[in-house]
């Protein structure tokens, strides 16, 4: 024990020394002696990332050791550390390194040329104990699970914890899988599929750093609560170039304020909506019902239906998006009008052979058309510039436009701008179908440039003030000298480049593309959602995580192949996780009975542990329900860990099961399961999710008869304390 404590203490000493070195280099980079502002910024960013990597390693720096058959010792930890004199000699192996793989996969049957695995139990920086597993001994066919059970039995905190010290063999095989396309990881509740996917991202960033770091990684989750829950895992592993989004965040700046009916969500999620969008755009490319008179000089020319139809066909056949094709439409109409005007103005005296006079007259007419309000208004009526939001809002609020686009009347709504999550992929699609409004973009760029110039002027002004004050102070005032340096750096940065972090820049840019995308709860994504994701990742590198049995969305996946084959034919592989690390056997038995009813072909995951507490149920009256819920909340407030009340709409203090997807709690109270079960065709999946969120204690309150599938619950008729029910 003493030698291990000494070795780990030495690792921490190296870590502290490396931190000091990086800090010194960071301070020197800030001064930027002889470097351009761009060079300085690149170095500062790199050193800041390295400092962050070293900071997260402090907790659980070293968690194990491998002894090879040749008596070589390999210490395994969160990051790699190297000998000061020999930079190629690792004194601590990064858990992602190939040489560390045996720590997770070696068994007595397949020891991977290892003699022993040692797992450290630490408190802060101190090794307090360790567990040894010697390979080759009788009865040692399975990996010791003391560290794993300690982790899964520990009370839950606010966020998901990494599993870097307790990765299991089936998880490690998925994390290190070398597949360039789409990897689907399916597993039932508690199998760790989400955290495995996140560790896979950390592994890919380690092995493919140069390729992936510049563009970053996108993690997509079903709701903000889950993203907040999992957002700490990758930073705890030293990775920060990651963007977290829900499907409602795909359009920067858009606010989702409403919900769709199930039928509207189904229609919007289907690829058939693409025909509706195309038809809605075509419907706005109009022909005049009556010729539109345009006054040009001393003559009047007209935009008639024949002219507009010719211009429309030319614009459509150009293949350009709607807004960009307006230039083609305008060019044809302009050509016709100017030809007609010249023909009338020059009748009797202007010959076509007099090209100079002809072109001079055309130039004058073009200038006149550009200033003609009637002509501009006609163009706006016949081929308007459209934004995705304006087109979709006007479609939803007009029964006539819905009919013209061949859309179902279920898409109608009174408030066109009340955006829903299923609207987001449609708006994103329309960005490409409509194209850019270049005039508006130019105006926005000019405004942004004016803002940058103002900020640079402000920064330079701050520096001038600091210079003046510095001249009046003593040379020994080092703090003020640093302020002066930072002000100069600030002024340079405003002039030179965008200094936002990668995650911030990516989240604000609709056209940003990622090197890898993780999709959690992927069974909920619609066909249209997948189109958005494929646009965000052109090289089709995905880790897809889900459980078809937990699908709630009417537009979600019913089979992985049906959803993925159109985008990555033959380039996706499937892996499953079969062991439940979260849900104890007592609770999983109840959930498995429900699963057998609504998804009889699905095998429930096998729980790795029991908790010793039997799930319970109690029938209450409507009047008694609030007090029973308060009793649960009061009891759990006195315990360590987390708890939640899950129920249908209207239950006081309860959240919907869909809001807890991917989350876990020490204690869960499910209220009125009969109402959850009756909520549409996917109510059973919703109840299955609710039952499998608990890691220790599960209670059920019901007013009506308990659903048949929950007959395995122990019914209690007395208001005994929740924790005393066995």
pLDDT tens digits, one per residue of 253-262:
999 999 999 9
Q: pLDDT tens for residues 626-662?
A: 999 999 999 999 898 999 999 999 999 999 998 998 8
188 is in an annotated binding site: yes
Average pLDDT of the segment spanning 179-183 = 93
Query: Does 482 appear as a known binding residue?
Result: no
Q: In what helix (H) or strand (E) does residue 687 lie, and over which residues does it extend?
A: helix 683-691
Largest CA-CA distance found in the chain, in angstroms, rounded: 113
Helix (H), strand (E) at residue 626: helix 625-637
CA distance 204 to 3: 34
- Is 193 among the annotated ligand-binding positions? yes
Q: Closest Cα to residue 218, out of 524, 531, 544? A: 544
Q: Per mean pLDDT, which range of 24-28, 176-180, 293-297, 449-453 is the poorest?
A: 449-453
- What are 281-290's pLDDT values in tens digits? 999 999 999 9
* pLDDT at 720 (0 to 100): 37
Q: Is 707 annotated as a binding residue?
A: no
Query: Taking Cα atoms as reference points, which of 418, 15, 477, 454 lies closest to residue 255?
Result: 418
668 has a pLDDT exceeding 90: yes
List pLDDT tens digits, range 7-60: 999 999 999 999 999 999 888 888 776 677 777 777 888 888 888 888 877 888
Q: What angle do CA 157, 229, 532 make, to 5 degrees?
A: 170
pLDDT at 238: 74
Confidence band (pLDDT; 50, 70, 90) for 303?
very high
**Residue % of the chain over a pLDDT of 90:** 57
Please state, in angstroms and rounded to a whole number, the distance separating the CA atoms of residues 102 and 73: 12
Identify which of 166, 72, 145 has the alpha carbon closest to the alpha carbon of residue 112. Answer: 72
**pLDDT score for 349:** 66
Give 303's contacts (C-beta < 8 A, 6+ positions apart). Answer: 288, 291, 292, 294, 333, 336, 337, 378, 382
Question: Is residue 272 annotated as involved in ligand binding?
Answer: no
- Domain spans of the chain, in order of start: 1-132, 286-382, 585-715
Could you give the C-alpha distances from 106 to 62, 76, 607, 708, in angstroms and in order? 19, 14, 22, 44
Residue 343 confidence (pLDDT): 82
Whole-angstrom distance, CA of residue 567 vs CA of residue 534: 8
Which is more confidently placed, 355 or 455? 355
Res. 481: pLDDT tops 50 = no
Tell me: the pLDDT tens digits for 137-173? 554 444 445 555 555 665 655 555 666 777 888 899 9
Average pLDDT in the chain: 86
Q: What is the pLDDT of residues 338-381, one digit of tens each?
A: 989 988 886 656 666 667 777 788 899 999 999 999 999 999 99
Has 191 been labeled as part of a binding site?
yes
Measure Cα distances from 402 to 266, 270, 396, 399 in Å.
16, 16, 7, 5
* Confidence (pLDDT) at 399: 97
Query: Rounded to whole angstroms, how far apart are CA atoms 382 and 387?
Result: 16
Indicate if the pLDDT at residue 719 is higher than 50: no
Q: What is the CATH number of domain 585-715?
A: 3.40.50.300
């Amino acid at each position: 024990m003493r030698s291990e404590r000494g070795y780990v203490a030495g690792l921490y000493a190296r870590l502290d020394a490396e931190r000091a070195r990086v800090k010194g280099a960071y301070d020197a980079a800030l001064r930027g002696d002889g470097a351009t502002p761009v060079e300085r910024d690149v170095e500062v960013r790199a050193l800041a990332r390295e400092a962050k990597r070293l900071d997260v390693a402090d907790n659980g720096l070293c968690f194990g050791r491998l002894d090879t058959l040749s008596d070589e010792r390999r210490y395994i930890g969160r990051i790699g550390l190297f000998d000061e004199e020999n930079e190629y000699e690792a004194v601590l192996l990064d858990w992602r390194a190939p040489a560390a793989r045996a720590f997770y996969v070696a068994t007595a049957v397949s020891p991977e040329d290892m003699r022993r695995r040692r797992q450290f139990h630490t408190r802060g920086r101190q090794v307090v104990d360790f567990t040894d597993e010697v390979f080759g001994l009788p009865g040692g066919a399975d990996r010791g699970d003391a560290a794993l059970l300690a982790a899964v039995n520990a009370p839950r905190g606010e966020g998901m914890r990494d599993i870097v010290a307790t990765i299991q063999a089936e998880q490690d095989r998925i994390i290190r899988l070398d597949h360039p396309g789409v990897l689907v990881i399916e597993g039932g509740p508690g199998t760790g599929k989400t955290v495995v996917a996140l560790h896979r991202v950390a592994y890919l960033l380690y092995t493919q750093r140069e390729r992936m770091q510049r563009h970053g990684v996108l993690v997509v989750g079903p709701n903000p609560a889950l993203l907040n829950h999992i957002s700490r895992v990758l930073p705890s592993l030293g990775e920060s170039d990651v963007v977290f989004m829900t499907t409602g965040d795909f359009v920067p700046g858009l606010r989702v304020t409403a919900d769709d009916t199930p039928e509207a969500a189904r229609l919007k999620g289907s690829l058939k909506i693409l025909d509706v969008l195309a038809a809605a755009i075509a419907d706005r490319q109009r022909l005049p019902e009556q010729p539109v008179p345009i006054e040009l000089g001393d003559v009047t020319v007209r935009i008639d239906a024949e002219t507009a139809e010719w211009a429309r066909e030319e614009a459509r056949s150009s293949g350009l998006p709607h807004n960009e094709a307006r230039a083609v439409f305008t060019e044809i109409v302009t050509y016709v009008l100017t030809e007609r005007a010249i023909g009338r103005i020059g009748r009797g005296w202007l010959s076509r052979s007099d090209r100079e006079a002809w072109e001079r007259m055309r130039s004058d007419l073009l200038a006149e058309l550009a200033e003609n309000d009637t002509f501009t208004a006609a163009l706006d009526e016949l081929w308007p510039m459209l934004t995705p939001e304006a087109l979709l809002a006007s479609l939803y609020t007009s029964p006539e436009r819905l009919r013209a686009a061949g859309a179902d009347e279920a898409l109608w709504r009174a408030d066109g701008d009340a955006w829903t999550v299923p609207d987001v992929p449609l708006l994103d699609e329309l960005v490409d179908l409509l194209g850019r409004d270049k005039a508006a973009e130019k105006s926005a760029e000019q405004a942004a440039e004016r803002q940058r110039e103002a900020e640079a002027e402000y920064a330079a002004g701050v520096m001038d003030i600091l210079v003046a004050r510095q001249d009046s102070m003593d040379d020994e005032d080092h703090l003020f000298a640093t302020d002066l340096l930072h002000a100069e750096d600030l002024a340079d940065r405003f002039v030179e480049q965008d200094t936002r972090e990668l995650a911030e820049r990516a989240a604000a840019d609709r056209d940003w593309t990622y090197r890898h995308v993780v999709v959690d709860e992927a069974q909920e994504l619609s066909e249209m959602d997948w189109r958005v994701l494929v646009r965000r990742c052109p090289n089709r590198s995905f880790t897809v995580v889900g459980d078809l049995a937990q699908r709630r969305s009417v537009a979600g996946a019913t089979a992985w192949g049906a959803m993925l084959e159109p985008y990555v034919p033959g380039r996706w592989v499937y892996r499953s996780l079969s062991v439940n690390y979260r849900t104890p056997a007592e609770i999983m038995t109840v959930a498995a009975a429900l699963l057998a009813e609504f998804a009889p072909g699905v095998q429930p995951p096998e729980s790795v542990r029991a908790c010793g507490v039997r799930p319970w149920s109690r029938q209450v009256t409507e009047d008694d329900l609030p007090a029973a819920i308060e009793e649960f909340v009061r009891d759990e407030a006195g315990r360590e860990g987390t708890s939640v009340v899950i129920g249908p709409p209207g239950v006081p203090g309860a959240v919907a099961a869909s809001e807890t997807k991917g989350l876990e709690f020490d204690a869960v109270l499910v209220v009125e399961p009969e109402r959850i079960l009756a909520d549409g065709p996917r109510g059973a999946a919703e109840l299955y999710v609710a039952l499998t969120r608990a890691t220790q204690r599960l209670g059920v309150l019901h007013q009506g008869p308990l659903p048949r599938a929950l007959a395995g619950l122990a019914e209690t008729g007395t208001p005994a304390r929740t924790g005393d029910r066995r």
